[in-house]
A and B are shown apart, each in its own frame.
Chain A
């Protein structure tokens, strides 16, 4: 069965960096586009970024463009989100989510990892 397991969240000071990861199993990771979606505490869902299966297509939300970088290692079945210049409003649960093709919706989600930006 499809499994997505995020890790790497924690408490970080404003302006610092953090990298979160998502390990995939139960499907052919190298065939799937992948997304990051976040949810601030008590708030709704916000799409963050997408990367195609072969890394040729990458898109970001305006709120993270220039600060966050999505990447993947297909040999390790792992998706990454490098987050730089973190701000308090980046505080959220970060979910990785699978795209069923290059469809741009999300058919499987991980359990999420909490990133808290606070001094």
Chain B
């Protein structure tokens, strides 16, 4: 199985800050990685697919990139509405697996 790790597990940043979340795969997953945002008590929302493709309707301050097996989600200018937990998910092979999540708080 492909193991996904995320760092940091939590972060606290101010409105307007640039925020970066890293997701690493235990083996090559090509670019088959998605990012989701989940707010407390709310269903997850797709942000990014194929490592860097922005889902329709998602603000352009969200972006994704990849270098080898290291994937990055960047929020260019953090907004109050971005307070949430962010999960990465690989879909290169079964079983599909998620990272443990990164909780983003607003200072």
Give me the interface of A with B, judged by CB distance under 8 Å.
35, 44-47, 50, 59-62, 95, 103-112
Contact call A44/B91, Cβ cutoff below 8 A = no
Q: Which residue of the partner chain B has the closest CB to A109?
A: B43
Contacts A104-B91, A105-B91; is A44 near B101 (CB within 8 Å)?
A: yes
Determine, out of B15-23, B60-68, B74-82, B92-100, the stretch whose residues face the partner at the interface.
B92-100
9 cross-chain pairs, A with B, having the tightest CB-CB distances, nearest first: A104-B91, A105-B34, A47-B96, A109-B43, A45-B98, A61-B95, A59-B94, A44-B101, A105-B91
* Pick from B46, B95, B99, B101: contact of A107, CB under 8 Å: B46
Contacts A44-B101, A47-B96; is A110 near B89 (CB within 8 Å)?
A: no
Query: CB-CB < 8 A to A106: which residues of B?
Result: 34, 36, 44, 46, 89
Query: CB-CB < 8 A to B96: which residues of A?
Result: 35, 47, 50, 104
Q: Which residue of the partner chain B has the closest CB to A46?
A: B98
Contacts A103-B49, A109-B43; is A44 near B98 (CB within 8 Å)?
A: yes
Contact call A95/B43, Cβ cutoff below 8 A = yes
C-alpha spacing A93/B94, complex, angstroms: 22
Number of interface residues of B (CB under 8 A): 22
Decide if B55 is an interface residue (CB 8 Å cutoff).
yes
Contact call A45/B43, Cβ cutoff below 8 A = no
* B31-86 interface (Cβ within 8 A of A): 32, 34, 36, 38, 43-46, 49, 55
Contact call A104/B98, Cβ cutoff below 8 A = no
Listed by A's residue number, 9 A-B pairs whose Cβ atoms lie within 8 Å are A45-B89, A45-B101, A46-B98, A47-B89, A59-B95, A60-B95, A104-B96, A105-B46, A106-B44
